[in-house]
């Protein structure tokens, strides 16, 4: 099972919510066995763990694949 994290601000901005929805759509369309987690905080611990400078961020199995961008569901599906 893949672990996918969408990391953003609290309260979540429009881009954070859009990335979360695109991620859920990509998982549903591909049928990949994945758990999508939303993390609405850019706490120091989270920033240090992933080296994040921008939000929103998309992390797949511990690897940052995007930050500061909203990938489409199709692009995310290609990463899965």
Model pLDDT for residues 2-52, shown as the tens digit of each residue: 999 999 988 888 999 999 999 999 999 999 999 999 998 777 788 788 888
38 lies in a domain?
yes
Residues 6+ apart with CB under 8 A from 68: 53, 54, 55, 56, 57
Share of the chain above pLDDT 90, in %: 74
37 lies in a domain?
yes
75 lies in a domain?
no
Q: How far apart are CA 18 and CA 2, in angstroms?
A: 20
Report the domain count for the chain.
Answer: 1
15 lies in a domain?
yes
Phi-psi sector, 61: left (phi>0), alpha (psi -120 to 50), beta: left
79 lies in a domain?
no
Closest CA to 27 of 19, 14, 52: 19
29 lies in a domain?
yes
The pLDDT mean for the chain works out to: 92
Q: How far apart are CA 28 and CA 7, in angstroms?
A: 19
| Local confidence band at 75 (pLDDT 50, 70, 90 cut-offs) | very high
- Domain span at residue 39 reads 2-60
68 lies in a domain?
no
- Confirm whether pTM is higher than 0.85: yes
């Amino acid at each position: 099972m893949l672990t996918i994290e969408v990391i953003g601000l609290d309260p979540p901005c429009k881009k954070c919510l859009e990335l979360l929805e695109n991620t859920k759509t990509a998982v549903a369309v591909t049928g990949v066995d994945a758990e999508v987690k939303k993390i609405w905080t850019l706490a120091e611990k989270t920033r240090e763990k992933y080296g994040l400078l921008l939000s929103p961020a998309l992390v797949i199995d511990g690897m940052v694949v995007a930050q500061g961008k909203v990938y489409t569901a199709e692009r995310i599906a290609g990463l899965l």
